Structure 1
Amino acid sequence: MVLKYAYFPGCVAQGACRELDQSTKAVSRSLGIELIELKKAACCGSGTFKEDSQLLEDTVNARNIALAEELNLPLLTHCSTCQGVIGHVDERLKSADSEYLNQVNGFLNREGCSPYQGSTEVKHLLWALVSDYGLDAIAAKVTRKLSGLKCAAFYGCYLLRGQDRPLDDPFNPTSMENLFEAVGATPIQYRGRTQCCGWPLSSYATEQSFQMAGKHIKAAIQAGADCMVTPCPLCHLNLDSRQPEVEQVIGEKLGLPILHLPQLVGLAIGISPSELGLDRHIVATKSVLAKLGK
């Protein structure tokens, strides 16, 4: 059976960090997963809409979900923040009373949009790979085991605690570590892997945001990590793109490569580093490729 999803790429992966969208599509093609991109989808709001109006957040994301429902497909994200926001909206609307749901759908109808029906699910790429595709099937696709590569998972906060019913333990998750092992890499445990990267603070408390990011990166380095792997473009921004600024704030050199989850999987299943966009990172990934003999 071919896995097929309505793909919600989000904003960051199509703007500041295009290598994340690029690698997600490359891995999906290689694994035979079909992605139908939701080109009419809107930004999920990354949790900011509800600061002004919960109804606004619910209506915007009810429309996003309805676009997937039109295709009769699950909505696939590759962003922890998008997963947390859209997934929680889906949970809330599925249990909402008819009056509130009619209000949301009334706004959608006014704009000529399909109504939200609650007929599909919102799923992060990590859950799709682990639960739908399966670890054994991924292991069977590996053409070059990532033996000797020590990977520190950075789950962040939204993926694990953004919804009422997360698909992994919110405080002691294992999904990413299990995936690392399936492709031959060694998982590294360290304090901070389930904490916030600091991105939500970055616009108004930049120094504190960078201190948070630096603390997590340092902990991963001290635990022996060769790289950090994140399932979230916003975490990627704070941990990779801003790592030079983080170094200035904490007064220490870090230089830890940050990989997006599909980039790690892609290396194991034979996709070239350039096709995965590894040459677009701020922190060079050459040390990771050298470790793998690439």
Structure 2
Amino acid sequence: MLKYAYFPGCVAQGACRELYESTAALTQALDIELIELKRAACCGSGTFKEESALLEDTVNARNIALAEELNLPLLTHCSTCQGVIGRVDERLKTAQSDRPEYVEQINTLLSQDHCSPYRGATEVKHLLWAIVGDYGLEALQQRVTRQLRGLKCAAFYGCYILRAQSHLPYDDPHNPQSMENVFRTLGATPIEYGGRTQCCGWPLSSYATEQSFQMAGTHLQAALDAGADCMVTPCPLCHLNLDSRQPDVETVMGRKLGLPVLHLPQLIALALGIDPKMLGLDRHMVSTRPVLAKLGL
């Protein structure tokens, strides 16, 4: 049985609760055990470093140390969390030999919060990497009970999962194929389109809203024009900009879009025969009914 220290992040426990629910349903179906890190803190989604690199590193060294206490890899289902925490882990592992005094400074701060020190003794792993690298696509295929034949899926990787870290062991950061390989394993058809590895626009949304929506709209439009029935993302922040804000995006683009955007675990769970009601598919801004109808559900 695979076992992970589970870092759900903030968004999946709030605005994208369906991601939290579908991750639970999927991992239970695959006999993957998650030990949730209840004491973990928000990774900062890349904003902490704007105030202080030490702040970002200390907060996330603490998150990693919580997983190290369990002697387990840290698992997240958020690309942004993967990018931020994974980057900190990578940086601090290098600093252990290059700048040991910096790691000691962080561990001194952690001790003041009665936390274990950062040891650099585990991995930070997105759910996608766990499925592809640990569970394996062949094993996943054996669990498929509902082939997603005829469903055309457009992967939206975004940026954090691919380019925040200098080492990406499970995919090519410039031409990723891991999600497309998952789609094929489930019986779905991957759709290639421009923009699948670009930013969704979320980081701009608080101060350049129209430009943010234009970015999201460009990707949605490209996927639609390529024939996609749905878009699938491994990041809840991307999901917010692409799904929750799609009506506003349509206003900026001057075009009706209506493209359903699924979380990655929702799609995989559907292929495992899990009831759509357990996956929160009714919580989306853009209706997922066309996807379910295409699957005869």
Matched, 1:239 2:232: no
**Aligned to 1:212, which of 197, 211, 215?**
215
Matched, 1:287 2:260: no
Gaps spanning 5+ residues in structure 1: where?
none
**Aligned to 1:179, which of 174, 179, 182?**
182
Give the match for residue 279 of structure 2: 276
Structural mapping, 1:148-163, within 5 Å: 148-163=150-165
Shift of 1:249: 1.1
- The code of the aligned residue for 1:94 comes to K
Matched, 1:32 2:31: yes
Name the SS of the counterpart of 1:204 in structure 2: coil
Structural mapping, 1:91-110, within 5 Å: 91-96=90-95, 97-110=99-112
Deviation string, structure 1 residues 150-196 (Cα, Å, up to 9, x no partner)? 00000000000010101311110000000000010000000000000
Distance in 2 separating the partners of 1:41 and 1:140: 34
Distance in 1 separating the partners of 2:256 and 2:168: 35
- The code of the aligned residue for 1:239 comes to L
Give the match for residue 228 of structure 1: 231
Distance in 1 separating the partners of 2:270 and 2:261: 14
- The code of the aligned residue for 1:58 comes to D
Structural mapping, 1:254-273, within 5 Å: 254-273=257-276
Distance in 1 separating the partners of 2:173 and 2:183: 19
Name the SS of the counterpart of 1:95 in structure 2: helix
Distance in 2 separating the partners of 1:250 and 1:174: 29
TM-score for both structures, normalised by structure 1: 0.99
Matched, 1:136 2:135: no
- The code of the aligned residue for 1:27 comes to L
Name the SS of the counterpart of 2:278 in structure 1: coil
Distance in 2 separating the partners of 1:191 and 1:81: 21
Identity, in percent, stands at 76
Name the SS of the counterpart of 1:76 in structure 2: strand
Give the match for residue 254 of structure 2: 251
**Aligned to 1:147, which of 145, 149, 170?**
149
Structural mapping, 1:115-134, within 5 Å: 115-134=117-136
Aligned alpha-carbon RMSD (Å): 0.5
Distance in 2 separating the partners of 1:271 and 1:19: 14
Distance in 2 separating the partners of 1:111 and 1:267: 42
TM-score for both structures, normalised by structure 2: 0.98
Number of matched pairs = 293
Matched, 1:202 2:197: no
Give the match for residue 90 of structure 1: 89
Name the SS of the counterpart of 2:153 in structure 1: strand
Deviation string, structure 1 residues 80-117 (Cα, Å, up to 9, x no partner)? 00000000000000010210000000100011111100
Distance in 2 separating the partners of 1:157 and 1:106: 33
Shift of 1:42: 0.3
Name the SS of the counterpart of 2:136 in structure 1: helix
Name the SS of the counterpart of 1:51 in structure 2: helix
Name the SS of the counterpart of 1:211 in structure 2: helix
Deviation string, structure 1 residues 182-219 (Cα, Å, up to 9, x no partner)? 01000000000000000000000000000000000000
Structural mapping, 1:52-71, within 5 Å: 52-71=51-70
Gaps spanning 5+ residues in structure 2: where?
none
Name the SS of the counterpart of 2:262 in structure 1: strand
Deviation string, structure 1 residues 65-89 (Cα, Å, up to 9, x no partner)? 0000000000001010000000000
